Amino acid sequence: MKKKENMKDETIRIVPLGGLEQIGMNITAFETESSIIIVDCGLAFPEDDMLGVDLVIPDITYLEDHRDKVKGFVITHGHEDHIGSLPYVLQQLNVPIYATRLTMAIIENKLREHNLIGTVKRKVVTYGQYINLGDFRIEFICTNHSIADSAALAIYTPAGVIVHTGDFKVDYTPVYGDTIDLARFGELGKKGVLALMCDSTNVLKPGFTESEKTVGKTFDAIFEDNEKSRIIVATFASNVDRVQQIINSAKRQNRKVVIEGRSMINIVNTAIELGYIRVPDGMMISLEEMGNYTDDKLVLITTGSQGESMAALSRIAASIHKKVTIKPGDVVIFSSRPIPGNEKSVSKVINELSMKGAKVIIQDTHVSGHACEEEIKLIYSLVKPQYAIPVHGEYRHLIGQGEVAKKMGVKKENVVILRSGDVLEIGESHAKVVERVQSAGIMVDGLGIGDVGNIVLRDRQHLSENGLMVVVLTLERGSNMVLAGPDIVSRGFVYVRESENLMDECREVVNIALDRLFDRGVTDWGKMKTEIKDALADFLWKKMKRNPMILPIITEV
């Protein structure tokens, strides 16, 4: 990097609060003495062991502790893992949002749902435009991804220029908009770039990612091979270019198009209004109008490509959708790859569809929106960063990109692998982690935010694996004589009506424990509950090798 006299001793802090060691929940703060900007604010979907949890959002305690310095959110694109947490975070930290046109429109849909549209400042930014936020100047650069209006960021800081790619690939034939602005990356590289923060999702895949346009040819071929059938296509709601290509193929066969699934309807309608999807007049019809057309004149575009239980396709496959029923001869196209962890759910939906006589197509109808190894090398060759800070990926992806960076000339000691919560102090002379801050995700369950933690999850796990046994007894005030009970209620442990002998034995175990307590003159309810739990747990383990959650309830009259 070319040195500038006034930058010699300047440093800034980079604080990733999510998005590292995982796919999702991308959020990174950039901090000087007086200013903080935040790049992206995404959510993650729950792991298998997060029973009952709907979403995971970032812990922004660090930002709240420095709220006077926070100047705004700068958003790279409109995917859930980059914008999904905004409605929750903005309730705690209401600062302006800066994003491109389609990205902002999708954000505004979310803000309306949470009644925040009137209280949050928003600014639409165009490619090549600069915005000044405190000590930072940010430039939006055109990139390609699986959603239109994606941007990389050149962040001008007191310590030097940091280039953040956002999620990207190099697509020379995009469905909508311009190709990635490689020339601008090259210009920045010539002037000197302090650090490159590059998308790592596909770094372990050699070669180049295919153009989105290749999927259009595949759709055309599938539609021609199945011209007599009703066609149902499941894809990500946010993949606006994919929806456009399905519409293009439907147009060639004079088919009507139906959109189903709440998120799909919201995003597609927004994209049509803004001109990102072009639909011939009269081509789009409602679900209710499907009955007016024969199967060979219909295409249904729906959510549910990941097997989500409440998504439209899953409900259709399970025969619980109110308006769409699978018929023998229907063709269902899965236009996405299963996200790791979703394979079983997707397989279940495919099997249900197949059992109803549908023809399921899952090959060659998806290309990734992320750069493979050669595209990442291209960015490094143009940007020529002093430091490489891999982002967006699991730990193995970050390590993989570190290896690519070294191949492309970044010094080994200048490849910085961070974890969420690390505070990186970076300047021309050094880059080192100086502290760690709170960064574990906060779980959202229904309307509750943060009220489900590790202890609650552990209890849910225990209940899900072993069931529950409740012991109820009533004592006389003063004498502590047992007036009623012990009554035993079981849920998820054994079926009580077929286990009456076991229930009698459990009552006897509790009575013996109570006799021991009364002989010792114990009247403290806490000690009584502990004794009952221990005695019953010991008996059930010896008899059945099971360990249910035991909940004693004592009342007094």
Q: Which active-site residues does the annotation give?
A: 199, 370
Q: Tokens 């249910």 identify what position?
A: 548
Report in angstroms the alpha-carbon separations of 15 from 23, 66, 327, 425. Answer: 17, 13, 52, 9
Q: Letter for the amino acid at 421?
A: G
Residue 169: how many other CB atoms lie within 10 Å: 28
- Laid out side by side, the sheet with 97-99 consists of 122-124, 97-99, 70-74, 36-39, 27-31, 11-18, 422-427, 431-436
CB 233 within 8 A of CB 209: no
72 SS3 class: strand
- DSSP codes, 129-191: -EEEETTEEEEEEE-B-SSTT-EEEEEEETTEEEEE--S-B--SS-SSSPPP-HHHHHHHHHH
How many Å apart are CA 529 and CA 553, to the nearest integer? 8
Contact 167, 238 (CB under 8 A): no
Is residue 374 within 8 A of residue 405, CB to CB? The reply is no
Residue 166's beta-bridge partner residues? none
CA 346 vs. chain centroid, Å, equals 17
The two most distant CA atoms of the chain are separated, in Å, by 88
Helix (H, G, I), strand (E, B) or coil at 18: strand
Amino acid at 285: I
- Phi/psi for 124 (5° steps) reads -80, 130
Residue 367 exposure: Cα atoms within 13 Å on the Cβ side:
27
Quote the tokens at residue 360: 């399921």
